[in-house]
Structures are given as structure tokens and as C-alpha cells.
Amino acid sequence: MIKLDKKYNVLMPIKNQNLKRLGRNLDGGYVVDINIIENCKTLITLGLGNDWSFEKDYLKINSDAKVHIYDHTVSTRPYLKEILKHSRRLITFRSNIKALIDRTKYLLDFLKITHSNKINFYKEKITSVTNGDNFSNISKIFKRLSVKEKVILKIDIEGGEFEILDEIINYADRIEMLIFEFHNLDKNELIFLELIKKLLKYFNIVHLHGNNHCGRTTGGLPIALEMTMINKKNQINKIEYIKTFPREHLDFANNPYKEDMVFYFE
């Protein structure tokens, strides 16, 4: 178990009794406040990748909700390539019908999630400024919503999160919950801590989890860090802190073949 440097104490999460995991018990799942999930009808996902188990779980809970997904990197191409590859291998007896069926299911599931009437999918890159139709910033995203619409914002954009955090603060009163995966904290540690201090004026950290695909900073913090924050108006518990991670029954290793990231605060 790794003790974190005292400079990271600002990240210590506040105890929350309403935490639950959405998404799979691997990379792609996140810990959330279930009360906010049940009562907030708009989820904005910045960065989808190849896993949408979180979004599917959210819609199972909120059948009348809407999801807005932004990701300029995803397409049917990799799924079609896998189908073609396994079709060729099947002919030469180097694969089996189950592998081909599984790849076909992945493609159909991708098409279902990106063409659902409950989901608005934008093939746009998230940046701090807009440089055309294929780009979006936080302002453009919120202009697509009703001015009274409260949202959950989930962000996993491979380091691009640092560009947009200041702009997110402008919409703090409309954001019920923030779900992040921060990247490259060994290189961006100072800017990360400064930005977190700004966010803490409006939000409380309620959960952390280290992504075990990456290593640690010299102070022991996971280089890739999952974080859940809730708007301060939603914090009804008295202030107690959680100091040891991961949390049993909530957290699971992103890579199941490696030990999870164990750490604690002083």
C-alpha cells in the first residue's frame, strides 16, 4: 500500500453513502452518486472509445433520459476490419464461428448505441476553442441544451481534459456530477492540482480510483486517475473523509491481469 505525499491531501474524497458503480467491472466502469443518476435526465459523455457500458447502465436506470456523446475517433471501421479478419481466418480454419459472431455483435452494439433515439452522437473533437464543424468546446455543447437543463458530465479525452476545465467552471451551477479520467499526471501535476482547487469551490470529490494501466507519480499518485465530483449543493452528509483506496465492491482493476492501484492519504 502506497502512502500519498501530503501535497495530494486536497484530493481526499468526502464520504458519500450513495455510491454505486455503473458500467462494467473493468476499464469503462465508474463510481457515481446513484441519487444524482436517478434524478438527472441528461448525460454528456466526452470520449466514448470502445466501451459504452456506462451509458447503457445509465439508460437502464433512466429510460426517459437523454445522452449526448462526443468522440471524433470512433467509427465502424475497426469493427468491420475485425469481422473481415475473422471471416478470412474462418475459411482457413484459423478462427471459429464464435469469434466471428462476437465481432459482429460488437459492430451491431456500436451501431445501436450511436443510432439510438435516446442518444445524440457528435463526431466532434473537444477543444478549448471551436475551429469548424468537427470541433466542439464546452460552450457549444451547452448551447445545444435547454438553459434550465441540469447535466452529468463524464470526461475521458486522453489529456484534453486540462484544456477545458476552466470553461467547465462557467457552467458549474448546471452540472450535478462530474466524472473524470485524468491522464499524464506525472507531466501535468502542477496544472492538475491548481485546476482541482478551482473545481473544489463548486464541487466535492466523493471518489477516486487509480487506473492500473499506468504507473505512479514520484509522490505515489496514479498517473491515470478516475475521479467523481458532485455539486456542493448535493452534499447532505456531514463531512467525513475516505482515506484508503480502492473501495471494496465499488472498485475493480482496469486491467484484470495486474494488481489494482492501492494507496492511502495520511
* Cα gap 81→89, rounded to integer Å: 12
* Cα gap 14→1, rounded to integer Å: 20
Q: Tell me the pTM.
A: 0.92
* Cα gap 260→245, rounded to integer Å: 9
Name the band, by pLDDT with cuts 50, 70 and 90, for residue 237.
low
Name the band, by pLDDT with cuts 50, 70 and 90, for residue 80.
confident
Average pLDDT for 95-115:
85
Task: Work out the angle between the directed axes of helices 189-199 and 161-169 (0-180°, nearest 10).
Answer: 20
CATH number attached to the domain at 2-74+123-264: 3.40.50
For CATH 3.40.50, the residue range(s) in the chain are 2-74+123-264
What pLDDT sits at residue 94? 78
